[in-house]
Structure 1
């Protein structure tokens, strides 16, 4: 039996929570470009320190200490607390719980003194994780409950989701599987759509419930789905955890060779990250695999290495499990019974029913071998009582009921999501029209007042008209980007995937579609966004159309090295209408071989964006097509006119007919964040 597989706890940062290498590289670049010792640099240091926790926690500690020093120099309490929080997070990831606790308590004290409830809730969550790692499950639940109450008071959905998920992990360690599953599913209901890491965490944790209930096929499916997501988003720590869990499930299901492969992959990843606790877990799991293969010397060597690391981190639960396995290797040794008694004491202190049951079972076998039958029978009776308290029929029925409810709600959510998106778009259109009506009425009032107030009020009327034009143009741009044909085709594509019994494709398409809708609605209300964010929305749109049209065309997005997309600002969704024209009236007219190129570079102090396709172009002899292309051009030209009025010129659109296809060049003033 293998005890330690990883339950995904959820860390909460005061700032960003991404830990992917791409985020680290981007933040590093921004930090190098801002040498000033001010709050901007302090924000970047805190975000970078937290981003390192799943990539290189030792470097994360170094960055956090630099942030602490800077926060003290410029006397910024809130960001000082954030720096301590980031330091504690990285120490937690390294397995140095005592130091992590000190940093977390310091952050909590600063937040409480300043009356910052959100910061205090996040600090309480992270402190609860440290108590969990020290096997103080009662204290962990107490801190999570306190954090949950604060998050609910603030209506902070992400924090509520984290708290539920982390409490589920604690209940899983306490072998209360119905409560564990209920908390995991309650947390999942609060995650925002498109949060891949949160979805993977939920899958991995739900898989653990079924592993412990010995439903191995279902456990394997959830863990495999989680691994696929972690690999896709580049989350190395999550990938290592999923590999460890898959190894455990494979081992308990009788496939020791597959288990060893998963464990070795997990150990390689955790060694690169430097996480002591997870390295110890991998070592012990590998040892148990070697024991099953009857390689006792190798098993003993790996167990001793793992035991040293667990004792360093004061992990009572897993120290007990490792001691039980060491005792089991040498059942006739004089140290076997003392070792088992020590393991039993640690398991009782940690409140681990699983390890208590395992210790009594191993002790019973040891007594039996030495001829102490009465003691063996008593130990076995204790083992059975503990085992039955974990796996009773009521809990099994409750877990089955929870699973049925979860599957039903997941299917219902897919239908509801499509319906809600239609309603959301309709409501957004109504609100836009109301805004225009208000603007028109305001313009009329200003116009009447201008006849009496003279030139000064006339200028105000002109300004009001200009603002109305901006609102009208923004509404038309949003309608062009979210036209009913695109929405209908997207929902129809999802329906087709479901009809063809391709739920994974339908799920993937729905996730991308919902993320694109959210990005368009959010970005349409902003004056400028980063080129990175704009290209991300454009990439999602291209992916959806390529999938819907069954890859009838290919596309390429090229950004010149001289352009820093994170630091470059553009009007939101300025290129999308031209890309839509290239797809709908260009490459979609071809049976195959369609190509779209989006090339962005800096030239003469401007940002030049070129969209070229190999469709029929404007010289195809089809005037209707040219007319259709002009709609997106007209709307975007209005936006360009507004931009020129605000930026004193510099923006324009040019069209170039090519032998095959059409090229559109959009020139924008070069606008930078810093």
Structure 2
């Protein structure tokens, strides 16, 4: 659902700055347009910053520059807020510190760093409390911070917590005469109630907000009240009422040229008419909504329209058209899924990089302090030069050892990061979800329920174990068997498997890295059995050989040579799995002074993987 206040953050931030400098908050534009990066605007702010002295007057340009950069240059925006905070702290200026903290919170919010965004917003709140003059301006600023906190909690799905901030902030806006913000606050509160499935309170807030917005001619809020009421009726299966609200939102959106609501209203009307089996206008509504959605490049709205067209054509018996729209819908869905995965990886990398930067900064600070201490001691105790030289040599040697340890720890962390990416195979997830859908379509609800239960267990175990360096062999094999059983269900038992463990291997106390065999078992299924509909066999034998734990994974698939042409799974995924496993074995060898290794050979009637790692028992 659309949250109108999110599109106004830039002007809300400007309003806060105006309040803190004593200007009227009514001087800012009533509504902001969609975000557009304006280089000339940022250049002018940078020129002001470059020319001006580092006093209280320079804080606002810094905050406005960070706000302008936050959508396109996140790291630069964070550095800008950090500079503003440094200056304000040096000047001991609470207002400037409050603005810098809130500016940093806004940047982190856009970067989806929600916990950090909450932390800095709360620090902004504490800084505002230290302002000793103009209680009204101070409380108005606190109301805007609370509004920001409410929006952050709403974004992460914590709607009850969001309401704890949004409701008081709306009351404060009414108290201090900011009617526009109070109206927008009512819209956000109504949306929170609805997202929390409290339709009664949600509709109450939306209807009251709509009356007030009509009175003050805040039309973008009015149109979004219509839209949200339409969703509320739809979720409660009152489809005629939902259609009426979306018609009203369409008329008003066309009048104020709100394109996103126009597209949404067409699409939702088409979907509602399908639900009550009134098909006459569905094609027109869906196709019109599709044109608007395509102009907005909104893939979610396009999917609603294509799904409506697919269902319409199926009901009319126009199966060729239905197949065509179904394929387009699936292509858009795959595109969204891929982008989501990329965003998750980028987010993971961003978190990792920020952590590394913090650790490096801390290490540099410690190193500088240590050097200063050594120089001071050398100057003061010149008589004991020989002793100091010895101590300096020892400290230098220890520092080199720590550096080597840090480099190795970084290597381990990078390998684990790449391994975590590899685990969440989008092809497996896609096929698993398709299998569930297929079982449901065939009314095999028992099999679908069994598959879904196992799939949920596998996802939970994968996420739980991926955070651990070592787990018991019993836990690891349990996860592997769960994965194999899912693939058997998905492929209609096209293959079987057998796991043999020598008696001298203690399953409960033998510790191994999680999911070490998963890439090779996956290769057997995706590559070895690519053209086998039945009769496939995976044999896994685990034994202790001296100081090593040995795995022998053998299949009767098409072998190494044939996988080059018969496999439909991505080859880079296969090679990446082998490469990362070799890295993990090398790291284990270094940590445990072992001689583990990996060897993959073709047997003429399949593939054999020989893998060994240093043996470890948890007493």
Larger relative contact order (CA 8 Å, sep ≥ 6): 1
For the criterion TM > 0.5, the same-fold answer is no
Give TM-score scaled by structure 1 length: 0.35
Give TM-score scaled by structure 2 length: 0.38
